[in-house]
Each structure stands twice: as C-alpha cells, then as structure tokens.
Amino acid sequence: MDHAELANDLIVKLRELHKVKPYKNIIESMQGESPVLEYVANHDGYVLPGEIAREMDVSSARIAAILNRLDDKGLITRQVDTKNRRQRLVGTTQDGKKVAGEYKQTLLGDAAKILDLLGEHDTKEYVRITKRMIELPRDYDDY
C-alpha cells in the first residue's frame, strides 16, 4: 500500500470536503464563540476559564478574548470564585443558554443532513472509522 499517495489523496479530499456546505458549517461552528458557549451552558453552575481552555485545546488568551465577546453580548456571567478570589468563574445567562441550544440544534441539523445523504451503511462506517481515529495514539510524533 502506498501511504504517501493515499495521504495525498486524503488531504485533497479533506480540502474538498471543507467546501461542502453542511460540513463547512459544522467545522466553522466548532471554532470560536459557539463551542465555548455550549461548553459553559452544559455545566450546571460555573466553570473556570482554564478548564475551558484545556477542553477546547486553545490558549488561555484565546479563551479570554472569546469570553470577553460573549460577555459583551450578554451571554455569560462572571463571578469571583469564593474558594480562590484570584479566579473568575464563568456561567451562562438565560440568553446564553438559549443561544447555546440554538447552536446545538443547528449543528445537529447539519450533521443529520450529511448522514442522511451518506445512507445508513456508510454512516455507520464513517462513525466507526472516526471512533477508530480517536482511539489511535494522540502523540503522532512517535511515528
């Protein structure tokens, strides 16, 4: 098996896939404010910005900028952590919960469109292969 040729084909196909509207919407919605807002909304109470940064695998500076924008829009609240007064806890407002719910429904709708077009057999295979990719070693530098 020629891995270099297959790797090139994979990269070309992934670039093309990013042009497919529902898939493009999914990828774009997994960046920026939307996933941060959904993450905060999915936690009862409050979360620490550092926890969000670790979960999203982005810098704390990027999370701080996103949280500032969400705060400006009235979608989150911040309060001082009573256990560690140097920390600020982040929660969602009612509007924030509503927007996070709408975001999730849009994301699910776009995913459902793609899976519907794939059909049941290919959808199951796609999900199986995606799970397998996640199970592979996360540190590819060893290869």
Query: Considering the chain, what percentage of its residues have pLDDT values greater than 70?
Result: 94
> Does residue 38 surpass a pLDDT of 90?
yes
Looking at residues 64-77, what average pLDDT do you find?
A: 96
What pLDDT shows up at residue 138? Answer: 65
Q: What is the 3-state secondary structure (H, E, C) of 73-106?
A: CCCEEEEECCCCCCCEEEEECHHHHHHHHHHHHH
Residue 56 near residue 35, CB atoms below 8 Å: yes
Give 3 or 2, the one with higher predicted confidence: 3
pTM over 0.85: no
Contacts of 64 (CB under 8 A, 6+ apart): 49
CA–CA distance from 135 to each of 3, 24, 29, 104 (Å)? 20, 24, 24, 25
Upper half-sphere CA count for residue 6 (Cβ side, 13 Å): 3
> Does residue 119 surpass a pLDDT of 80?
yes
> Does residue 121 surpass a pLDDT of 70?
yes
Domains of the chain and any CATH numbers: 3-136 (1.10.10.10)
